[in-house]
Chains A and B, each alone.
Chain A
Amino acid sequence: MSETAIRPKLVAASAGDRLRKAAPLLLAPVMALAGLIAIADPATWLTLTVAGLAMGLMIFIMASGLTVVFGLMDVINFGHGAFVSVGAFVGFTVLAWLAGWTENPAVIMNLAAVFLAILASMAVTGVLGLAFERVIVAPVYGHHLKQILVTMGGLIVAQQLIHVVWGPDAIHVARPQSLRGSVIVFDAVIEKYRLFAVAIGLVLFLGMRHVLRSTKVGLLVRAGVENGEMVEALGYRIRRLFLVVFMVGSALAGLGGVMWGLYNETITAHMGSDLMVLVFIVVIIGGLGSIEGCFIGALLVGLLSNYMTFLAPKVALVSTIALMVGVLMWRPEGLYPVVKAK
């Protein structure tokens, strides 16, 4: 080998650069702290914080697919909410079939019923995602205006189909026995279901992180978000990868729908499109295409919404918009702008 003039030289990230990356991580704790100061009563604060985390994590589940789909193929799906609604209705149907299990006091039976409901709705919404991608999204690649219009049309049709199948009225969803009621922790009343939602949300987040960091598909997704052309030039079919991601994202939205249905105990055909407002806020705050940003954004929105519902209920939704405006003033492309090649 030739002696080379190439000397390894460590290009250390500057301190400022590292702070830039880390700063958003501090936002959620800061928000929690601010909430504590504003609310003053620790027990109430704890109740609200758990509620906020539960809500944030459910929104994260719904939003994660949307943001990755955007990052990977520059596709923005305004019909994403349809998967949330369909997921909720399928989950409800399964839970209704399994009424024997959900009314049973045994925790195992209850959890089994919920997991079956989740599996079924993820399967249905995953397949629906496949159809949606093929029929509705595929013909309008690279054309944002048409994408928005066409996916909006898909949303309308999907909501109407829910009306056809399940009827036009809101439906009550009963939580399984052991997820009803609350526990008292440090004087704070905490609904059991919220703890359950936090647990599921965290497990999913960690699972997702693992997939994205340590599996080949995960690496390809991250690489594709940054530079899809190069992924193709290395020999991978990004369209197929995208289809998989789209299906997984739809299935996650379906999962989020089941969770949200059990949380609210009521489901409607337009619950998904209503939730899209929060989902979009979260995705924008996080930076379009960024999964970490989406996670932090979701926690922020969940916490803020719950604190504000307590402090000033009339402006709860407006406050999340204010949060979005604030974040965009600080970082115009969101907390973690996705680096795009070119």
Chain B
Amino acid sequence: MADPLLTLSGVHTHIGPYHILQGVDLVVPRGGVSVLLGRNGAGKSTTLRTIMGLLKPSRGEIRFDGRLIGGTPTPAISRAGIAYVPENMGVFSDLTVGENMQLAATQGAFDATRLSWIKALFPPIATFWEKPAGTLSGGQKQMLAVARAIIEPRRLILIDEPSKGLAPAIVTAMTRALGELKETDTTILLVEQNFAMASALGDTVSVMDDGRVVHAGDMAELSGDAGMQERLMGLSLEVHQ
């Protein structure tokens, strides 16, 4: 594999007195979707938050496109080309959908073609453009959160459990939208517990447990090997559906 887009080596993160990440090694190759699996509390969200600079790693290296970004402030990491869709979606409910999108367009103005592509990908964005984001349904908020992350071209998108709490039909649509996003020149690091979604999108997969990555490999290999799934998914049998 040519030099990867993002590497974490031996990353430790503390939250207050708690030692949450205990030496995470993770490689995200350029292009495609890397999936991060693991049971509840394994440290997946903490990993994304550490990459995003929202938590400071206490030890270890985070390298993005060859540059060390561990300990860099969040805005700088964002400007380096990483977008983030948090587990709670992070939409500004007091602002309208349009205003949410406007803040994500850091260049100031929208790229018209990109905006219409996004509106086609997620029709509610267009429909509810003037509505306060707080009045959207859970699925619509999730779409807004993803739309915000891709309104400008980014090198890497971190998405934390986009299927969480969504109806199956919406999950299918979201999977399709992410699949379309994958065709563009964007790398996605996807945290997902829904194995159907994960295996449909993923190219590579890493499995976390207790603050460490315990398995890394190709998604195809994992999808095809029921025994291995059993062994690793035993760790994450929260698999929905």
Are chains A and B touching in the complex at the 8 Å CB cutoff?
Answer: yes
B94 touches A6 (CB 8 A): no
What residue of chain B has the Cβ atom nearest to residue A222's Cβ?
B94
Number of interface residues of A (CB under 8 A): 33
* Interface residue? A339 (CB, 8 A): yes
Which residues of A sit under 8 angstroms from B135, Cβ to Cβ? 11-13
Task: Answer whether residue B165 sits at the interface, using C-beta atoms and an 8 A cutoff.
Answer: no
CB distance from B8 to the nearest CB of A (A): 18
Closest to B49 in A: A229
Bitwise, B133-175 to A at CB < 8 A (1) or not (0) is 0111101100100001000000000000000000001101100
Give the docked Cα–Cα distance between A340 and B114 (Å).
31
Instruction: Say yes or no: B143 contacts A342, CB within 8 Å.
Output: no
A238 to chain B, nearest CB (A): 8
**Within 8 Å of chain B (Cβ to Cβ): is A226?**
yes
Neighbour of A232 across the interface among B78, B136, B172, CB < 8 A: B78
Which residues of the other chain, B, contact A1 by a CB distance below 8 angstroms?
120-121
Q: How large is the interface on B (under 10, 10 to 19, 20 to 34, 35 or more residues)?
A: 35 or more
A6-B124, A8-B123, A232-B78 in contact; A226/B94 too (CB < 8 A)? Answer: yes
B95 touches A219 (CB 8 A): yes
Q: How many whole Å from A147's CB to the nearest CB in chain B?
A: 19
Residues in B whose Cβ lies below 8 Å from that of A9: 124, 137, 140
Main secondary structure of the interface of B (DSSP, over half): helix
Extra contacts besides A5-B172, A230-B86 (5): CB < 8 Å: A5-B169, A6-B123, A11-B137, A13-B135, A232-B53
**Chain B residues packing against A (C-beta within 8 Å):** 52-54, 73-75, 78-79, 83-84, 86, 88, 90, 92-95, 99, 102-104, 106, 120-124, 127-128, 134-137, 139-140, 143, 148, 169-170, 172-173, 176-177, 180
Contact among B136, B170, B180 for A2, CB-based, below 8 A: B180
Q: Which 9 A-B pairs have the closest CB atoms?
A: A230-B90, A235-B78, A8-B127, A232-B74, A223-B92, A5-B169, A233-B84, A1-B120, A6-B173
- Asked whether, in the complex, the Cβ of B124 is within 8 Å of the Cβ of A234, the reply is no
Complex Cα distance, B7 from A268, in Å, reads 61
Q: How far is the CA of A230 from the CA of B73 in the complex (A)?
A: 13
Known contacts A4-B123, A5-B170, A234-B78, A220 near B103 by CB under 8 Å: yes
A8 B128 Cβ-Cβ under 8 A: yes
CA distance A342 to B45 in the complex (A): 13
Report 8 cross-chain contacts, Cβ distance below 8 Å, ordered by A residue.
A8-B124, A11-B140, A225-B94, A226-B93, A229-B74, A230-B86, A234-B148, A235-B106
Residues from chain A with a CB closer than 8 A to the CB of B52 are: 233
Given contacts A4-B176, A226-B92, A339-B93, contact A233 B123 (CB under 8 A): no
In the assembled complex, the CB of A20 is this many whole angstroms from the nearest CB of chain B, namely 13
| Chain B minimum-CB-distance residue to A239 | B73
A57 to chain B, nearest CB (A): 24
Q: Which residues of A contact B78 (CB under 8 A)?
A: 232-235
A236 within 8 A of B: yes
Pair A229/B104 contact, Cβ less than 8 Å: no
A227 within 8 A of B: yes
Chain A facing B: main interface SS: loop
Q: Which residues of B contact A13 (CB under 8 A)?
A: 135
Residues of A near B177 (CB, < 8 A) are 4
Smallest CB–CB gap between B192 and chain A, Å?
19
Given A222-B95, A232-B74, A342-B88, CB of A4 within 8 Å of CB of B173? yes
User: How near does chain B come to A75, taking the closest CB pair, in angstroms?
Assistant: 18
> A236 CA to B134 CA in the complex, in Å?
22
The distance in angstroms between the C-alpha atoms of A12 and B128, with both chains bound, is 11
Contacts of A225 in B (CB 8 A): 94
Shortest beta-carbon distance from B240 to chain A in Å = 17
- Are B74 and A233 closer than 8 Å at their CB atoms? yes
The 0/1 profile, CB within 8 Å of B marked 1, for residues 232-255 of chain A is 111111100000000000000000
Tell me whether A216 is interfacial, beta carbon within 8 Å: yes
Interface residues of A in 197-239 (CB under 8 A from B): 216, 219-220, 222-223, 225-227, 229-238
Q: Give every chain A residue within 8 A of B92 (Cβ-Cβ).
A: 222-223, 226-227, 230
Complex Cα–Cα for A231 and B100 (A): 10
Q: Which residue of A lies closest to B139 (CB)?
A: A6
B75: A residues at CB distance < 8 A: 232, 235-238
